[in-house]
């Protein structure tokens, strides 16, 4: 194994062949080098959690006026109780 053809995964610190290395976005301007296994784990962790679809209760929808005023749901509910 030629040392020039390997990199170290910045997450698990294992030495990986260059063709098995992936770039994963860490911040807006920065990427990290990760192995394929860590890349898959990071992708799974970054996926949005799915909502329960078999619920009979409709999700709460924030009124448009509250979104424009940056009100929280608690402030909206408390406003309606007064």
Distance (Å, rounded) from C-alpha 13 to C-alpha 1? 17
Q: pLDDT digits over 20-61, tens only?
A: 999 999 888 999 999 999 999 999 888 877 666 666 777 666
DSSP state letters, the chain: --GGGEEE-TTT--EEEGGGEEEEE-SSS-EEEEEHHHHHHHHHHHSPPPPPSS-SSPPP---HHHHHHT--HHHHHHHHH-
- All structural domains of the chain with their residue ranges: 1-47
Q: pLDDT digits over 1-25, tens only?
A: 566 789 999 999 999 999 999 999 9
Listed residue (31, 30, 38, 32) closest to 14, CA to CA: 38
pTM for the structure as a whole: 0.54
């Amino acid at each position: 194994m030629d040392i020039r053809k390997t990199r170290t995964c910045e997450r698990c610190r294992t030495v990986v062949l260059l063709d098995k290395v992936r770039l994963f976005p860490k911040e807006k301007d920065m990427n990290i080098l990760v192995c394929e296994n860590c890349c898959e784990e990071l992708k799974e962790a970054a996926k949005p959690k799915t909502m329960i679809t078999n619920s009979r209760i409709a999700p709460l929808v924030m009124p448009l006026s509250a979104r424009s005023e940056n009100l929280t749901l608690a402030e909206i509910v408390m406003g309606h109780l007064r």
